[in-house]
Amino acid sequence: MTNHIITLPLLVNLFISIILMFYWRKVRLQKIVSVAGSVLGLAVAILVFIHVYQNGTQTVASGNWSAPFGIVLVGDMLAATLILLTAISALAVSVFSTVAVINARLRFGYFSVFHFLILGLNGAFLTGDIFNLYVWFEIIIISSFVLISIGGEKNQLEGAVKYFTLNFFASMIFLTALGILYGLAGTLNMADLSAKVSQIDNQVLVEVCAILFLVGFGIKSAVFPLYFWLPASYHTPPAAVSAIFSGLLTKVGVYAMIRVFSVIFEMTPFLQTLLMVIAVLTIFSGGVGSLIQNNIRKVFSYLIICHIGFMIGGLAMFTKVAIAGVAFYLIHDIIIKTNLFLIAGLIFRMKASSSMRKIGGIYSNYPKLSLLISIPLFSLIGIPPLSGFWPKISLIIASFELKHYWFFGALIFGSFITLVIIARLWSRVFWKEQPKMDSNPKFNYFYQLSKFDKMRFVLPIVLLTIVTLYIGFGAEHIQEISTRIAEEIVNKDLYINAVLKSS
Amino acid sequence: MKTIILQTASNYLLPVLLLFSVFILLRGHYLPGGGFVGGLVAAIAFVLDAFANGINETKRVLKFHPGYFMPVGLGIAFLSAISPIVLADLPIMTGLWADGSIPVLGTIGSALFFDTGVYLVVIGAALTIIFTISESA
């Protein structure tokens, strides 16, 4: 019976969104069901995590078709951890959405699509079949298209078109790569592919195929030459939507890269060099791009890109220490980036603007809230003992061991430029005197909200900040989990045996 | 575009096309057909009716807003997907089959319910799109 546990995160979210679709127009009820569903989702995710933590990798052969033929759901440590983090972010964003997204938008089925997005993410983390991964990606991008364009404001649609075009293009490249891979190996199960890909005579074609996967996932995870859609679109939708996008959508691309390049393709020196170059350039261009922005959400958007580079570089080194660093950074980054965009939404509600030139004085108006916000900002920079510091140790150790001094330099550069950007943001938004600004009589400012509404704005940020603090101060536990993930990733036989021998 | 020929023809075509869509739905397990194609045929039947008699008339025939077909269909598919977990302790989406066969329908299995769910979702989605477009036009 326990066998079914890893299917539960999928079933819960599907069930919640079906329930929500019945109550299309009843916004109040939708809010209650969505928050309750997210709490249930979190409980299930914790259950899955504990189960996988205690019993090792779990597999379910859906439809009872055994491994190389049917679609297998594989819950290993990486998948279980990501599902848990997804559930935490989903709960925070769901609570935040009940007050930060206007009812006119909620009436178009916002919450139902939101839970479909979470379903898609969980599915992508769980599946052990490369074509099924593509299908989950489709579910994710279709849901995200709806979320990014719901409401239909002019600049929002402009962002949505850019987002749509490039993500669609990425899916096309991913599908092409899949077609070539299936033509070469004749199977789609990732564990089965692993053995067959290395026996193919035409290894050049395999390498071309690997590059196609890299481009497809690279667009989705916003790495160096392919990231332009992200800052062009992430600042347009409501803050709650961009929070879940920034926390999870680019990370699912990173996850797919980790999975594909650890299980299916061998890490050839060429691929490692390519990934390393991409990583260094991503860190550099994301950091510099962020420096010149004025809109808070654009600053954070470029920081996403900058920090994706850390993970890609860790993946390129592909040693146990490096992958442990990547896993730790992934855990830290999902929570912190979701939190950042929620904070951007809160600042917008306080000041009715996201432009750093126009706003200021938050520290004197809201001292306690500023103190709360400072914690995630300091974690983002990586000031010890907060959460951003620990993964960088692993990454720096790995880069020294392998003599990747360029990446070491990029890491230091990335950390310092983040420090500069956040310090600038802090002094401009929090410490600077409020410049003269006409208050908008139609705008519902934060201080005008009822106590219950204020709670719903602040509680998700508190929740995510507590998780961040735990990641920082309980780093020993997180490091243990990351090391286990790294062990499973580096020894791909563990994954292959779990999938192929169980059935 | 209200012509008496189309109106008279659609009155007969609506039930015939719906019956045909059910035929395609049931045929689908081993032969070409299934819930998706069946749902499209049924949606076309209603679209034809809407062309001939106007959208309000078709909405009256449907009784519910087509948007509600989607959650109902998804619900049926969801139940059929989890039925092996609940009933037989088998992995999700395993096909369960009843003993013996029933005339016309053949052997009943959980796949039939899954296909019925798809059928309803397709009708709901297609009609919602078309009704929304023609109402806003």
Tell me: the pLDDT tens digits for A345-400? 999 988 888 888 888 888 888 889 999 999 999 999 988 888 889 999 999 999 99
Closest CA of chain A from B82, distance in Å: 8
Tell me phi and psi for residue B100, to 5 degrees.
Answer: 70, 165
The answer to whether A323 and A311 are in contact (CB under 8 A) is no
List the alpha helices (DSSP H) in chain B: 4-27, 35-53, 55-62, 69-83, 110-136
Look at the alpha carbons of B87, B90, B92, B98 in this order and tell me if their dihedral is positive or negative.
Answer: negative
Q: A64: which chain B residues are within 8 Å (Cβ-Cβ)?
A: 84, 90-91, 94-95
Quickly list DSSP for B95-120.
--B-SS-BTTTBS-BHHHHHHHHHHH
Q: A135: which chain B residues are within 8 Å (Cβ-Cβ)?
A: none
- Whole-angstrom CA distances from A360 to A296, A341, A435, B52, B119 are 12, 18, 7, 62, 56
Closest CA of chain A from B96, distance in Å: 10
Domain boundaries along the sequence of chain A: 2-437+444-501
Distance between first and last Cα of chain A:
16
Between CA A130 and CA A72 the distance in angstroms is 10
Between CA A435 and CA A37 the distance in angstroms is 42
Query: Two tokens at A84?
Result: 């848990």
Which residue type sits at A425? L
pLDDT band of residue B1 (cuts 50, 70, 90) is low
DSSP A75: E
Contact A14 B78 (CB under 8 A): yes
Q: How large is the average pLDDT for residues A458-480?
A: 93
pLDDT band of residue A65 (cuts 50, 70, 90) is confident
The answer to whether A136 and A127 are in contact (CB under 8 A) is yes
Between CA B3 and CA A60 the distance in angstroms is 57
Closest alpha carbon within chain B to A65: B94
Q: A29: which chain B residues are within 8 Å (Cβ-Cβ)?
A: none
Closest CA of chain A from B94, distance in Å: 4
Q: B89: which chain A residues are within 8 Å (Cβ-Cβ)?
A: 1
Q: How large is the average pLDDT for residues A119-147?
A: 93
Number of neighbours of residue A447 by Cβ within 10 angstroms:
10
A56-61 CB contacts, 8 Å cutoff, 24+ apart: A56/A498, A57/A488, A57/A494, A57/A495, A57/A498, A58/A3, A58/A5, A58/A6, A59/A6, A59/A128, A59/A498, A59/A499, A59/A502, A59/A503, A60/A3, A60/A4, A60/A6, A60/A7, A60/B91, A60/B92, A61/A502, A61/A503, A61/B91
Contact A3 B91 (CB under 8 A): yes
> Mean pLDDT score of chain A, rounded to an integer?
90
Contact B85 A24 (CB under 8 A): no
A320-336 b/e (C-beta count within 10 Å ≥ 16 → b): bbbbbbbbbbbbbbbbb
Closest CA of chain B from A139, distance in Å: 15
DSSP A151: T
Contact B92 A63 (CB under 8 A): yes
Domain boundaries along the sequence of chain B: 4-136
Interface of A with B (CB under 8 A): 1, 3-4, 7, 11, 14-15, 18-19, 21-22, 24, 60-64
Q: How large is the average pLDDT for residues A46-74?
A: 88
Q: B76: which chain A residues are within 8 Å (Cβ-Cβ)?
A: none
Q: A21: which chain B residues are within 8 Å (Cβ-Cβ)?
A: 67, 70-71, 74
Contact B82 A11 (CB under 8 A): yes
Tell me: the pLDDT tens digits for A106-118? 888 899 999 999 9
Between CA A189 and CA A199 the distance in angstroms is 16
Tell me: the pLDDT tens digits for A165-200? 999 999 999 999 999 999 999 889 998 998 888 888
Tell me: the pLDDT tens digits for A401-444? 988 899 999 999 999 999 999 999 999 888 888 887 777 777 77
The answer to whether A114 and A244 are in contact (CB under 8 A) is yes
Closest alpha carbon within chain B to A3: B91
The answer to whether A107 and A258 are in contact (CB under 8 A) is no
Closest alpha carbon within chain B to A12: B78
Contact B94 A63 (CB under 8 A): yes
- Whole-angstrom CA distances from A56 to A59, A376, A497, B104, B124 are 10, 32, 12, 48, 42
Q: How large is the average pLDDT for residues B83-107?
A: 82
| Nearest CA-CA partner of A350 in A244, A443, A422, A273 | A443
Contact A18 B78 (CB under 8 A): yes
pLDDT band of residue A1 (cuts 50, 70, 90) is very low
Q: How far does Cα A413 stand from its chain's mean position? A: 23
Q: A24: which chain B residues are within 8 Å (Cβ-Cβ)?
A: 67
Q: Is the pLDDT of residue A265 over 80?
A: yes
Of A1, A22, A62, the CB nearest to B71: A22
> Under 8 Å CB-to-CB from A17, ≥6 apart: which residues?
A111, A112, A113, A114, A115, A116, A119
Contact B78 A64 (CB under 8 A): no
Query: Two tokens at A51?
Result: 């189960």
Contact B91 A14 (CB under 8 A): no
Which residue type sits at A161? V
B130-133 CB contacts, 8 Å cutoff, 24+ apart: B130/B43, B130/B47, B130/B50, B131/B50, B131/B55, B131/B59, B131/B66
Q: If you count them, how many residues does chain A have?
A: 503
Q: B92: which chain A residues are within 8 Å (Cβ-Cβ)?
A: 4, 7, 11, 60, 62-63
Q: B71: which chain A residues are within 8 Å (Cβ-Cβ)?
A: 18-19, 21-22
Between CA A330 and CA A2 the distance in angstroms is 28
Of A14, A15, A61, the CB nearest to B91: A61
Look at the alpha carbons of A211, A215, A217, A218 in this order and tell me if their dihedral is positive or negative.
Answer: positive
Q: How far does Cα A241 stand from its chain's mean position? A: 13
Q: B75: which chain A residues are within 8 Å (Cβ-Cβ)?
A: 18
